[in-house]
Structure 1
Amino acid sequence: MKNLKAYIKPILILGSFLFALSVQSQELETLINEALENNPEIQKFDFQYKIASEKVNEVNSLPNTEFNLGVMAIAPEMEMPMERFRVSVMQMLPWFGTITARENYATSIADAQYIEITIAKRKLIASVSQSYYNLYANNAKQKVLTENIKLLETYETLALTSVEVGKASAVDVLRLQMRQNEMQQLKDVLSQQFLAEQTNLNNLLNRENDAAVTVLDSLIMPSEDFEITSENLALNPELLKYDKLYQSIEQSELLNQKESAPMIGIGVEYINQDNSPMITSSYKDMLMPMLSVSIPIFNKKYSSQTKQNELEQQEIKVQKQERLNTLETLLSKAINERVSARISYDTQTKNLKQAKDAEDILIKSYETGTIDFNDVLDIQELQLKFQMNQIESIKGYYVQSTIINYLIQ
């Protein structure tokens, strides 16, 4: 068990690896640590592991000791000596090594249960991280909408001035106002979605639903991706779990072989007798050591268990291969989507720069009195689209990095 814990401990450090954002990672790392400490699901698995560990002590015991007492209720009138009562004690002993085999089997079950704790912690870390990035994206979009609403208010002021001098119509002003209303509506919807996601994160941390969560003002796209070693996928606890289950079946078979062996019983019986003239010895009572052997002659039960163990091991091998294939697919998908997120981010950055250049041209056009507010709305809509897509690209990059981290770290 010590070796198992030593292997798993560094795995859990993945939660603090937040892609080279040492300052920005503090808030998320704090949330992750709080979740690992307070999450009920983690506590549930921890109790299950403690129960499995305690079973090691349960199996480290001998069968019940048998005590027998017999008393002569009605004694017939006979000249022969009659017993008054008899007492016997018998202890059955398992075959050599059976108790050790039971302990080893119980320990292997506990080891497999400990892996479940590790898997649950890794999934919790990934869930907290993804929820946090969702909150970041939501908050960033609300800020972008606020900035665009202010920008439209500026254009509205320009439109009102143009209306006064006859260079724009009231329809232009109304269209700018309607666009502001749409943005305010979207912002209000995002605000409600933020509260829902905040509740989700607070539940993962097992705290009050309305507890405030502070997120970063901005996330940067890392200059380069962290190295991906796909060979580490084979060390994922989801796959290690099958190795531990396979080992538990091996221990189960060793125990089955031991239990199919005979059991030996040792004991003693004491018989107390009445005094009788027929007894010439000074010892009238009897003391008899006893030895018994329990042989499983009809051992079909044990041969069937052996066959079941063989089938279970084959099943575990197939399950492990199936899960490995699934994890490989998830890893490949996460890698590709992270690459796509970076490509999208670069594209949105270029588009956003060009949109701002177009905006500057419109502003300069206003100075010459030739501004077209239809163009203003078109450019503003494109700019908002690029900003939203850029935020989604950053969120997507970090979410996919979290998945990759879960799979191979």
Structure 2
Amino acid sequence: MRLFLFILAIAVTLLQAQSINQLIDYSLKKHPSLQTIQHLLSAMDDRIAKSRNWSNPEMLLNMSDIQFDDPTNRGIEPMQYQAINVKQRFPWFGKIDAREHFTRAQKNVILDSYDIARIKLAEEIRTTSYTILEIRERLRIIGQYKKLTKQNIALYDAYTATDSMSHSNSMAAELMLSRLHIRSERYKAVMKSQEAKLAYLVQKKNISISDRLHLKKPRSLRFYLSKLEHNPAYHKTLSQIKVADANRRIKELESNPDPFVQVGYFNRKEYEDYASVAVGFTLPILGSEKLETEAARKEVLAAKSAALDYRAALESEIRVNYAQMKEAYHIYQIIQNDSMPKLQHMFELNEASIESGEDLFTYTNLLEQKLDLDEERIVAKAQYLRSVAKLKSLIGNIK
């Protein structure tokens, strides 16, 4: 009955477990940080619509020639009038299109920020998941070594009566067991913090990851460098160039003043009413517009330099992370194909003396070395996968 319940519990856990890609898909739909940017994008649509509007007309109400002796009498002379004036500014040709182009360029920057946030969120979910899987593997390995160490202690105790060295060997094994307990508690604390972080990233509690730490042959450095321009942060620097250039165009057009028309209706008591029309524009004679245009042109140059600098920094970051990935991959291969077989051979050489109880101390020492190698192998696998996740992020891949 207990076996059946155990198998049932494992089956339920496996059914509830989700892959890292599934966790990423869920988070991309639910995470509030992404919803915040979506609201900003919606707001930019309203600003784009607004950019095509003319400036609001101005209305002026005027009452002239108020006589202090008789302020309510509005029929003393023909100069006394009440007027309504409406003033409308007309944008110079191309200014509305320039404003819309500038606003759309700003929206593209926010779109790039949205892509950056999505990819960064996916990267964080991957790296955190790999850390959880790493700690889970470490705890599993330590659990196995606890059992072996307890068996060693029992063997030492069995030989205590006939071997004076068995007691000290038994104490050494007990110290090893204590160190395993301490290491296990530290890993459990790290596991809790990483699980809390993953719950925030995915916006879901009690997450079970179905993936395993599995290594694939690494791609070439050329592959990652060829995908460099897909990086959304690099796209953002290019979008910022377009914003700066659109702003420069607006400043250039501001050198052409907007004309305005003012129409007035004048009412006079006991006299005929009349209307007036005025046309005017500002006089750009102080050179402010030229200075603004020159400043905007220099901002375009600054944005272009920033994009070139970011591209160079991005290439360097890809090379650095690729080197870390290759290092982890080579360390794993050395441990897996060289160190572990040699250590296993040492166990086989000492197997006869270990079984007779003659060399249990050597066995304990070999056991500690094997534990260290097992953990280093797990670390190398997790570090390799975290580096791959970072490289995916750098070339703009979510999955």
TM class, shorter-length: 0.7 to 0.9
Q: Per-residue displacement from partner, 1:275-320 (whole Å, max 9, x unpaired)?
A: 46xxxxxxx33233x2412133235221121121122122112222
1:226 aligned to 2:219? yes
Give the root-mean-square deviation of aligned CA atoms. Answer: 2.4
- Range with bigger deviation, 211-220 or 250-259: 211-220
- Range with bigger deviation, 170-179 or 255-264: 255-264
Q: Answer yes or no: is the 8 Å Cα contact 1:327–1:407 preserved in 2.
A: yes
Q: How does 1:274-353 map to 2 (within 5 A)?
A: 274-275=269-270, 284-288=272-276, 290-349=277-336, 350-353=338-341
Q: Which residue of 2 aligns with 1:198?
A: 195
Counterpart CA distance in 2 for 1:218 and 1:58 is 52
Q: Which residue of 2 aligns with 1:35?
A: 27
Q: Which residue of 2 aligns with 1:266?
A: 261
Judged with a 3 Å threshold, the aligned counterparts in structure 2 of structure 1 residues 217 and 353 are, in CA distance, closer, same or farther, namely: farther
1:372 aligned to 2:366? no
Q: Per-residue displacement from partner, 1:326-353 (whole Å, max 9, x unpaired)?
A: 2112111111121111111111113122
Runs of 5+ unmatched residues, structure 1: 1-22, 277-283
Judged with a 3 Å threshold, the aligned counterparts in structure 2 of structure 1 residues 241 and 299 are, in CA distance, closer, same or farther, namely: farther
Counterpart CA distance in 2 for 1:358 and 1:120 is 51
Q: Which residue of 2 aligns with 1:401?
A: 388
Counterpart CA distance in 2 for 1:330 and 1:141 is 30
1:354 to 320, 339, 342: 342
Counterpart CA distance in 2 for 1:160 and 1:275 is 126
Q: Answer yes or no: is the 8 Å Cα contact 1:91–1:265 preserved in 2.
A: yes
- 3-state secondary structure, aligned to 1:296: coil
Q: Answer yes or no: is the 8 Å Cα contact 1:42–1:117 preserved in 2.
A: yes
1:69 aligned to 2:61? yes
Q: Which residue of 2 aligns with 1:48?
A: 40
Q: Which residue of 2 aligns with 1:19?
A: none
Counterpart CA distance in 1 for 2:154 and 2:75 is 128
Shift of 1:363: 3.2
Q: Answer yes or no: is the 8 Å Cα contact 2:59–2:85 preserved in 1.
A: yes
Judged with a 3 Å threshold, the aligned counterparts in structure 2 of structure 1 residues 175 and 268 are, in CA distance, closer, same or farther, namely: same
Shift of 1:125: 1.1
- 3-state secondary structure, aligned to 1:163: coil
Counterpart CA distance in 2 for 1:175 and 1:310 is 75
Q: Per-residue displacement from partner, 1:245-280 (whole Å, max 9, x unpaired)?
A: 11111111211222221222234322233446xxxx
Counterpart CA distance in 2 for 1:168 and 1:121 is 61
User: Structure 2-normalised TM-score?
Assistant: 0.85
Counterpart CA distance in 2 for 1:268 and 1:371 is 113
Task: Give, as a single letter, the amino acid of the residue that structure 2 aligns with 1:272.
Answer: N
- 3-state secondary structure, aligned to 2:209: coil
Counterpart CA distance in 1 for 2:229 and 2:57 is 49
2:156 to 152, 155, 159: 159
Task: Give, as a single letter, the amino acid of the residue that structure 2 aligns with 1:156.
Answer: I
Q: Answer yes or no: is the 8 Å Cα contact 1:261–1:295 preserved in 2.
A: no
Q: Which residue of 2 aligns with 1:213?
A: 207
Q: Answer yes or no: is the 8 Å Cα contact 2:153–2:174 preserved in 1.
A: yes
Task: Give, as a single letter, the amino acid of the residue that structure 1 aligns with 2:342.
Answer: Q
Shift of 1:243: 1.1
Q: Answer yes or no: is the 8 Å Cα contact 2:159–2:357 preserved in 1.
A: no
Shift of 1:154: 1.9
Q: Answer yes or no: is the 8 Å Cα contact 2:244–2:303 preserved in 1.
A: no
Counterpart CA distance in 1 for 2:230 and 2:20 is 25
Shift of 1:145: 0.5
1:97 to 94, 98, 105: 94
Shift of 1:143: 0.5
| Identity value in percent | 16
Shift of 1:69: 2.9
Counterpart CA distance in 2 for 1:130 and 1:169 is 45
Counterpart CA distance in 2 for 1:27 and 1:392 is 20
1:174 aligned to 2:171? yes
1:363 to 332, 348, 351: 351
Q: Which residue of 2 aligns with 1:5?
A: none
User: Structure 1-normalised TM-score?
Assistant: 0.83
- 3-state secondary structure, aligned to 2:53: coil
Task: Give, as a single letter, the amino acid of the residue that structure 2 aligns with 1:266.
Answer: V
Shift of 1:141: 0.5
Q: Answer yes or no: is the 8 Å Cα contact 1:95–1:263 preserved in 2.
A: yes
Q: Which residue of 2 aligns with 1:250?
A: 245
Counterpart CA distance in 2 for 1:36 and 1:217 is 19
Q: Which residue of 2 aligns with 1:239?
A: 234
Q: Answer yes or no: is the 8 Å Cα contact 1:260–1:296 preserved in 2.
A: no
